[in-house]
Structure 1
Amino acid sequence: MHKSAKNFHTETVASSVPPKQSENAAIPPLNLTMTLMAAPSKHIAPSLACFPPVVAPDTRVLILGSFPGEASLVAQQYYAHPRNQFWRLLAAVLDEDWSGLDYPQRLQRLMAHRIGLWDVIAACERSGSLDAAIRQPQFNDFAPLHARCPQLQRVCFNGQTSGKFAPSFAAAGFETLVLPSSSPANAQLSFEQKLERWRKLL
């Protein structure tokens, strides 16, 4: 029997190594543009929380999104919207068939390839799923990444919202890559055009 998705998140994080002194520079303060910092509206949903990171001590590549969409929050799964192309893109990049895998199995395949997942925003207020509707964001603390994932080399950003963090991660010594969003809202590029860029992830 497979573990539940929620428990899989928790147990994956628990496998991280204890904090230790990093030889690399600390990640400097991270800021998004003020377009995400507008005052809350009475029409905005109450504060929402993101998922725990899916990482391990041997994680080499970390993919950062912005914040889970409504379908993901309901399912308690990263990239749960049926039209989000994230899992299809990753399977194609890794040249594997994931069509018959459930969510815990997909996470296991990612981790087998030393790929981790997280989001830049820890909590926010939002109505709907669009990044443009995010208000009052609180950002995740990335400072412990060097200690939790000592083999982490590259941080990739799923879309332009999370991609605004790229300069700070680059300054901290990570390789960075901003990818076209896998969201169904990003309809300007075809799947094949997105895949061409996503192949640079590894």
Structure 2
Amino acid sequence: MAKRGYHHGNLKRALIEAALTLISDKGPSGFTLSEAAKQAGVTPAAVYRHFDGREELIAEAAREGYEIFADLMEYAFETGQPSALASFEATGRAYLAFARKYPGHYIAMFESGISVNRSPELAHAAGRASAVLERAAAELSEHIPPEKRPPAAMFSAHIWAMSHGVVELFARGAAGSRSPFPPEELLEAGIGIYLRGLGLVAPDS
């Protein structure tokens, strides 16, 4: 099983898959390049055909994760139309879905300590993801009078932080079992309170 990617002639892909498994199981600092090589079914020396070190391998996993994440966010935004509010809420749900389905990528992106500015490719991928949420925030905030309208970047950063907090506390690992509410409900309620404060959602009757 471990040698499947290598035997298909795609060593780089096999190493990334091995790293994602190890990151998910042990954390981004809990494995060595030798372990990644063993998981991929190759010698440690073979890793250096594609990666200079463990951090570069993790950075590539993060870049790939941001590309997947951006695709999911863009899809969520487009399918939420024609309502700006529906699109905005859909992007929040996409954040939770991504964290659940791609734990290795998520950890590489947000918990590895790898800077998004490590490479132009990584920075571009990360920028794509944040741009979707900022676009959703900009379209939704058009309903706020200009003098009361927060910058779209701040608006989207607040929702990103809220989504990330729900994921970290309640949507991954054992901590999720301690929440009396599903993560989706927690995020929806939090976004609702935030949007009511901006006058974008009517108060509860």
Counting helix residues as a fraction of each chain, which structure ranks higher?
2
Higher relative contact order (CA 8 A, sep 6+): 1
Q: Work out which of the two has the higher radius of gyration on C-alpha atoms and give 1 or 2.
A: 2
TM-score, with structure 1 as normaliser:
0.29
